[in-house]
Amino acid sequence: MNWLARLQHLDRRIIFLLMGLSILIPVLFPLPMSFEVDERVQNLYQAVERVPPGSRVLISADFDPSSRPELEPFFRANLDHLFRRNVKVVVVSLVPYAPGLVSPLLRVYGERYHKQEGVDWVYLGFKEGKELIIKAMGANMRQTFPTSYAGVSIDQLPIMNGIKQLKDFPLIVMVSSGSPGTKEWVVQVQAQYALNMVSSCTAVQTPDYIPYYKAGQLLGLAGGMPGAAQYEKLVGVPTADAMATRGVNVLNLGHAFIILAILVGNISYFASKRREP
């Protein structure tokens, strides 16, 4: 059995091991690597920059543990960006696993920037109903979320004064991993209320959402971990906190390994076919 045939019967666990190493090594020994910021992320950043200090931005934080590594870095950087500019933040979630991740982060960033809950930020929590909830928020935000996640009536929250429906927010940021997510927001309310929207989504969803960006339905789009890393770069997140920027090394080596595995697998397959009698 020649070496090409042996490659065809390689134990798949060796591939898993090498893949694991290609992720672990750049985590332990990061290489200095630069990357460019693409137009979509640049426009997302500019859309946030255009929000006047003191106004309120709605974030739909719809990520769960399975999409956390891709979306949490963006969410953190976005909170950094908004709080630094003294923009108030109203957060909602449309997926049931989000509150456990979103609520502690808001508290940490609120304390870091000395922001008061209910005045500078509020988490309205999770609401079941998927697209119907988005539609309902477009018509009447106060009826859809009568209380905050902490159980405080929306009428007693200074940050919600004057907010009746979605069009009262100058910008809506979607941090979404699935359905309901960016697509549902765009389809249900963007055109109807002419809302300014930007999105951070998982890498898998990015090709589906690029047409929304091209058509102007999204003002900016950060796709997956590279998008989050580019946003971290623009916001100037400190290296210690920049989880996505550190992950770019991992993506580079991981992708290089997968490309190599595909090439070697195909070459060995065709070579072993040619040697067959």
Partner 1 sequence: MALPWYDIAGAWLAIFLTMCIFSFLYGDNPAYKFAEHLFVGVSIGIVVSEQWFGMLRPNLIDKLLEPSGPRAWLYVIPLVLVLFLFTKLTRKHSYLARIPIALMVSAFAAVKMTGEANGNLMVQVADSMPDLAAVYRTTYPHWIWNWDMDGAGVLSSLLVIIGLICCLVYFYFSVPHTGPLRYASRFGIWVLMVSFGASFGYTVMGRISLAYGRVLTLVGMDRTPDEAAQIHAPAASLISTVIIIVIIAAWRMRAPPEATVIDDG
Q: Between 87 and 268, whose beta carbon lies closer to partner 1?
A: 268
Among 49-57, 83-91, 120-128, 162-170, the segment contacting partner 1 (CB under 8 A): 120-128
In angstroms, give the least distance from the CB of 219 to partner 1: 14
Question: How far apart are the C-alpha atoms of 249 and 31, rounded to whole Å?
Answer: 7
- CA–CA dist 8, 3 (Å, integer): 9
- Please answer whether residues 184 and 161 qualify as being in contact, where contact means their C-beta atoms are separated by less than 8 angstroms: no
Is 146 near partner 1 (CB under 8 A)?
A: yes
Euclidean distance between CA atoms 252 and 242, whole angstroms: 17
DSSP characters for 35-97? -PPPHHHHHHHHHHHTSPTT-EEEEEEE--GGGHHHHHHHHHHHHHHHHHTT-EEEEEESSTT
Per CB under 8 A, does 236 bind partner 1? no
Give yes or no for residue 217 binding partner 1 (CB under 8 A).
yes
Q: How far is the CB of 225 from partner 1 (least distance, A)?
A: 4
* 69 scored as a contact of partner 1 (CB under 8 A): yes
Which residues contact partner 1 by CB under 8 A?
Answer: 9, 11-13, 16, 19-20, 23-24, 27-28, 38-39, 66-70, 96-97, 99-100, 125-129, 131-132, 135, 146-147, 184, 186-188, 190-192, 202-204, 206-207, 211, 214-217, 223-226, 240, 243, 246-247, 250-251, 254-255, 258
